[in-house]
Amino acid sequence: MELDPPYCDVIVERWEKFTGRKAERLDLGGGDGMIYLASPYSHSEGNIREQRFRAVCRMAAELMRQGQVVFAPIVHSHPLVGHGLPSDWPFWERFDREHLRRCDELVVLTLDGWRESVGVTAEIRIAAELGKPVRYLVPEDSPGAPTLARVAKEAEV
């Protein structure tokens, strides 16, 4: 699901007011570390899982075009689910934890349902345990640089 930029502005303003911190727009030009791109996936409806998969693919491709090294677990796992693997967090936790350990930061793609996602919530917690920075990526309707808000490791958005 894509969000209108004015709505994203409201999200950022509310986050700043709630946390007392200032969000900053970051340049995504090729960093030295590897990004773990988290997003919601599991859903009872297969078409929702497919939409989420495609949205993550688009964002991972955009970040890679900008020079970032990205691992997106949904991009990796969605095709494997088609070969009989489960789609739920309890199965994928062990694998995702190891990938997150090897990455330098966690970036959460704030697709619809990200706050309720068991997997995303766990990935944020694991990143905090590992001392990894967490950023939140708000998809934009238009092509170009996405918006990232840098938050503290223990961020609660």
CA distance linking residue 39 with residue 72, whole number of Å: 8
> What was the pLDDT predicted at 6?
61
Is pLDDT above 80 for 26?
A: no
pLDDT in tens, 92-147: 899 999 999 999 999 999 999 999 999 999 999 999 999 999 999 887 643 343 44
> What was the pLDDT predicted at 1?
37
| Region of poorest pLDDT, from 3-7, 44-48, 86-90 | 3-7
pLDDT in tens, 51-103: 999 999 999 999 999 899 999 999 998 889 889 999 888 998 999 999 999 99
Contact, 118 vs 89, CB < 8 A?
yes
CA distance linking residue 15 with residue 101, whole number of Å: 27
Residues near 148 by beta carbon (within 8 Å), at least 6 away in sequence: 25, 26, 28, 107, 135, 136, 137
Is pLDDT above 90 for 36?
A: yes
Reference 54, options 109, 17, 108; nearest CA is: 109
Contact, 30 vs 68, CB < 8 A?
yes
Sketch the domain layout of the chain as residue ranges: 27-131
Between 70 and 150, the more confident residue is 70
β-pair partners for 106: 36, 134
- pTM here? 0.71
Q: What is the dihedral of CA 122, 22, 143, 57, to 10 degrees?
A: -10
Q: Compute the average pLDDT of residues 18-23.
A: 76
CA distance linking residue 54 with residue 46, whole number of Å: 12
Reference 68, options 27, 96, 98; nearest CA is: 27
* CATH number among 1.10.1200.10, 3.30.1490.190, 3.40.50.10400, 3.40.50.2300, domain 27-131: 3.40.50.10400
Contact, 103 vs 33, CB < 8 A?
yes
